Amino acid sequence: MKRIVIADPHPIVRKGLKELLIENIPRVKIVRQLSTAEAIFPQLLSKKPDLIILEIALPGMDGLGILKDISERLPDLKIIIYSSYPAKIYKQKCYKLGADAFIPKTAGLRELTNTVHKVLQNTGSKSGQPEEKTIKKTSEVKLSTREIEVLQLLFEGYRNKDIAIRLDLNEKTVSTYKSRLLNKLNMDNTAELIKHYNALKIIK
């Protein structure tokens, strides 16, 4: 029997995941459902699960830091990130911090259950999963030096006109760079770029 902990702030997500996994994956038991980051380590230590399904968008906490701590303190525990955060920004970072898989919440039910089943069946160490990680690395988003400079100034609160002056560019060119950033990172607006700036720094 494989033991699973679900950590997500939303009760509907926790309930849905529990029912989905029990119905579609043989011999699994949801041993705990958690809504806060503070409860994660005590429960992992007491319940000793085989897998944690973790949302890194936890209110008031650094979800990436929690992922890193879990991976370092419990290296044999399988970790699946099931997150509302954009995959293009966070997926590769999560792999580097020790996640076994990253599933966006926009994924279909088949992808979710197949990934959980695959991770549970893999009995090797995290370093023993090169196929999955290689695929993710080849899809990593790359930004040009100029795009990075524009992103940095956007984060610091500069407007297009101010960025153009600081970088000695035409204002229209700055708008083009901003459009490229939004397109490459699958963002809808500048506010999203700013919100996820810290995670974006990993792909510079």
Residue type, 59: P
Digit-coded pLDDT (tens) for 50-104: 999 999 988 767 888 899 999 999 999 999 999 998 887 888 889 989 999 999 9
Q: What is the per-residue pLDDT for 19? A: 95
Does residue 126 carry a pLDDT above 70?
Answer: no
Task: Give per-residue pLDDT as tens, 142-164.
Answer: 778 888 889 889 888 899 999 99
Q: Which amino acid is at 187?
A: M
- Please determine, looking at this structure, whether the domain spanning 2-138 carries the CATH number 3.40.640.10: no
Q: Count the alpha carbons within 13 Å of 153 in the hemisphere toward its beta carbon.
A: 20
pLDDT confidence of 201, banded at 50, 70, 90?
low
The position carrying tokens 């370093």 is 127
Domain 145-203 falls under CATH 3.40.980.10: no
Q: Name the maximum alpha-carbon separation found in the chain.
A: 62
Find the mean pLDDT for residues 136-147.
Answer: 63
Q: Give alpha helix (H) positions in 78-108.
A: 87-96
- Cα–Cα distance for residue pair 115/83, rounded to 1 Å: 14
Q: Is the pLDDT of residue 48 over 70?
A: yes
pTM over 0.85: no
Domain 145-203 in the same topology as domain 2-138: no
Average pLDDT over residues 40-51: 94
129: DSSP letter? -
48: left (phi over 0), alpha (psi -120 to 50) or beta: left
What ranges do the domains of the chain cover?
2-138, 145-203
8-state DSSP, 202: G
pLDDT for 136? 35
